[in-house]
Structure 1
């Protein structure tokens, strides 16, 4: 199962965007998900640029192995999550 976050309803509130992306990544890592999809939409590209900048932050970078903008849908970012070690 792939977790998906659609940012369309949140695009006007930067704090909500940041919180939603962080929550998604932490939840996916804790649940052992392999990947998540973040739907930023095509639009002007500002929302996608914000998400990509967030993914570059050190505290989030440790949660995933890599990310890519889906070549078949430029409005979707696929993040390959690093599994959290189980105690």
Structure 2
């Protein structure tokens, strides 16, 4: 199963880059018909994870994927599942 992975550790404090990277990976997943994207905001204070979830909740983004899942074993990970 093809899967894309985005690790935000290196750009956690660069706001504009975060949205850009999230946008890029969503577009790539849709383009290449990838079923799962794993986003790693890391554990930290939880602010970055909140930002990622807020980004994913935008109507124009939300319409592109099927559902999101927070990893129950590792709260520093989010999975985005796309429609087949």
Partner residue in 2 for 1:77 = 78
Which residues of structure 1 form unaligned runs of 5+? Answer: none
Which residues of structure 2 form unaligned runs of 5+? Answer: none
Partner residue in 1 for 2:61 = 60
Distance 2:41 2:13 in 1: 12
TM-score by length of 1: 0.92
> Per the alignment, in what secondary structure is the counterpart of residue 19 of structure 1?
helix
Where do residues 1-87 of structure 1 align in structure 2 (5 Å cutoff)? 1-83=2-84
Distance 1:17 1:2 in 2: 19
Deviation at residue 82 of structure 1 after TM alignment: 2.6
Structure 1 runs of 4+ with >4 Å offset? none
Distance 1:3 1:9 in 2: 17
> Per the alignment, in what secondary structure is the counterpart of residue 44 of structure 1?
coil
**Count of aligned pairs:** 83
TM-score by length of 2: 0.95
Deviation at residue 63 of structure 1 after TM alignment: 1.0
> Per the alignment, in what secondary structure is the counterpart of residue 73 of structure 1?
coil
